[in-house]
């Protein structure tokens, strides 16, 4: 049985999710988490994971998510415990941990939680192993933010980008060890809104790892990779110049391209439901009429992220709600990235 050790100080990492404008889709090398292409994302603010780690009195690790506990004795091959071992061996640290994690958004609603989940897990573990919350201390022990981003990426690719706030680029490079993850602009450069429209809360997800592999079977994948640099250039230009129309056009085609690859891959995978499809048609009509100034992007699921200027967020949300009564809406925006606190409450943005 897992016994928590309340005498140990808890180290809490709060890490945001991110929404990809240029999608990480396909892996060249699964072991090293080497992506097929560069990706660009915006770090969010409201959708986040809060994870607390404390040194354990047991000789195994435990992990509790939304009240359900698993431990490394019974589940040693679980990706969470494999990640803990990776963190400890990379940093040359030892000691078992009890970890408790919670998402700010309903976990059943189909919003990818692995980005916020694995970045929060990495940070909370590092803080508990080093018994400190400061970025400077982490770096002095050899765990720079850059190193922690790459560690998080090994847990789940998109989690590497959640280690930074604002707008973040993950470049693939020419070999697995030449990958980079870095901030392009801070959150203050351009405060955009992400109106998340949850159309199918209970939709069953096909793990993205399966879909990453299936992408190589699509004949559309080669042409996609050939056009990636051009898309990255246009997206960066749009963010730099705060050109919401250019950004909107590019993110919408990018998402549809990714889903076309899913649907034509081997095996064929369809994340978009009939409702997603009807919503997209409706969005285009409303936009043409001038009733909505927002553009869609869609991750590996049926739900839609509407990206728009902050001043249009409320109106967009209300217009969606009036027309899509069953949809659940989460208002999010550009965020500053992860931070760490202790149970004593001393907080610091890393
Ligand atoms: C559609 O990061 O979930 O959200 O590395 O296998 O854990 P793994 O994949 P994951 O893939 C994310 C795919 C995406 C696009 C993106 O975030 O770039």
Q: Nearest to residue 127, comparing CAs of 113, 114, 137, 142?
A: 137
Over residues 251-264, the pLDDT tens digits come to 999 999 999 999 99
**3-class SS shares of the chain: helix, strand, coil, % to 5:** 40, 25, 35
Is residue 51 within 8 Å of 101, Cβ to Cβ? yes
Over residues 218-242, the pLDDT tens digits come to 999 999 999 999 999 999 999 999 9
Is residue 42 within 8 Å of 192, Cβ to Cβ? yes
**111 pLDDT exceeds 80?**
no
Half-sphere exposure of 205 (CA within 13 A, CB side): 16
**3 pLDDT exceeds 80?**
no
Any atom of ligand 1 within 6 Å of the Cβ of 212:
yes
Is residue 248 within 8 Å of 292, Cβ to Cβ? no
**344 pLDDT exceeds 60?**
no
**203 pLDDT exceeds 70?**
no
CA of 315 to the centre of ligand 1 (A): 30
Is residue 64 within 8 Å of 135, Cβ to Cβ? no
Any atom of ligand 1 within 6 Å of the Cβ of 156:
yes
Higher pLDDT, 201 or 206: 206
C-alpha to C-alpha distance for 43 and 41, rounded to whole angstroms = 6
C-alpha to C-alpha distance for 130 and 270, rounded to whole angstroms = 44
**108 pLDDT exceeds 70?**
no
pLDDT at site 350: 41
Half-sphere exposure of 299 (CA within 13 A, CB side): 23
**150 pLDDT exceeds 90?**
yes
Beta bridge partners of 311: none
**Could you tell me what percent of the chain has a pLDDT over 70?**
94
pLDDT at site 348: 42
The residue contributing the CA closest to ligand 1 atom 7 is 156
Any atom of ligand 1 within 6 Å of the Cβ of 24:
yes
Q: What is the mean pLDDT of the chain?
A: 94
**7 pLDDT exceeds 50?**
yes
CA of 20 to the centre of ligand 1 (A): 9
Tell me the whole-structure pTM to 2 decimals. 0.95
Any atom of ligand 1 within 6 Å of the Cβ of 208:
yes
Any atom of ligand 1 within 6 Å of the Cβ of 32:
no
End-to-end CA, the chain:
35
Residue 65: which residues within 8 A CB-CB, separation 6 or more? 101, 102, 107
Residue 230, phi-psi category: left (phi > 0), alpha (psi -120 to 50), beta (remainder): alpha
Q: Which two tokens stand for residue 340?
A: 């760490």
Over residues 22-77, the pLDDT tens digits come to 999 999 999 999 999 999 999 999 999 999 999 999 999 999 998 899 999 999 99
Any atom of ligand 1 within 6 Å of the Cβ of 157:
yes
The residue contributing the CA closest to ligand 1 atom 8 is 156
**171 pLDDT exceeds 50?**
yes
Q: How much is the average pLDDT of 309-335? A: 97
Is residue 142 within 8 Å of 126, Cβ to Cβ? no
C-alpha to C-alpha distance for 13 and 112, rounded to whole angstroms = 18
Residue 142, phi-psi category: left (phi > 0), alpha (psi -120 to 50), beta (remainder): left
């Amino acid at each position: 049985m897992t016994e928590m050790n309340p005498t140990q100080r808890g180290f809490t990492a709060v890490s945001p999710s991110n929404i990809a404008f240029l999608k990480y889709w396909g892996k060249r090398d699964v072991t090293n988490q080497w992506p097929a292409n560069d990706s660009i994302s915006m770090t969010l603010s409201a959708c986040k994971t809060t994870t607390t780690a404390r040194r354990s009195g047991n000789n195994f690790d435990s992990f509790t998510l939304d009240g359900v506990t698993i431990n490394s004795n019974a589940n040693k091959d679980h990706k969470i415990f494999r990640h803990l071992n990776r963190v400890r061996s990379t940093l040359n640290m030892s000691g078992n941990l009890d970890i408790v994690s919670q998402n700010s958004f309903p976990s059943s609603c189909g919003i990818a939680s692995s980005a916020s989940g694995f970045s929060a897990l990495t940070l909370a573990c590092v803080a508990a192993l080093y018994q400190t919350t400061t970025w400077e201390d982490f770096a002095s022990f050899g765990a720079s933010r850059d190193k922690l981003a790459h560690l998080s990426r090994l847990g789940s690719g998109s989690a590497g980008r959640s280690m930074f706030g604002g707008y973040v680029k993950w470049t693939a490079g020419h070999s697995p060890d030449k990958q980079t993850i870095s901030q392009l602009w801070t959150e203050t450069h351009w405060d955009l809104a992400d109106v998340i429209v949850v159309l199918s809360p209970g939709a069953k997800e096909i793990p993205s790892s399966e879909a990453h592999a299936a992408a190589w079977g699509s004949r559309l994948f080669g042409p996609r990779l050939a056009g990636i640099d051009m898309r990255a250039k246009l997206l960066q230009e749009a963010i730099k110049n705060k050109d919401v129309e250019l950004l909107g056009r590019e993110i919408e085609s990018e998402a549809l391209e990714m889903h076309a690859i899913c649907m034509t891959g081997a095996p064929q995978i369809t994340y978009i439901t009939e409702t997603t499809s009807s919503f997209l048609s409706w969005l285009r009509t409303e936009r043409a009429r001038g009733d909505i100034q927002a553009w869609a992007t869609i991750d590996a699921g049926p739900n839609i992220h509407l990206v728009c200027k902050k001043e249009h967020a409320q109106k967009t949300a209300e217009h969606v709600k009036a027309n899509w009564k069953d949809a659940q809406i989460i208002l999010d925006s550009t965020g500053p990235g992860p931070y760490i606190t202790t149970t004593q409450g001393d907080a610091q943005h890393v």
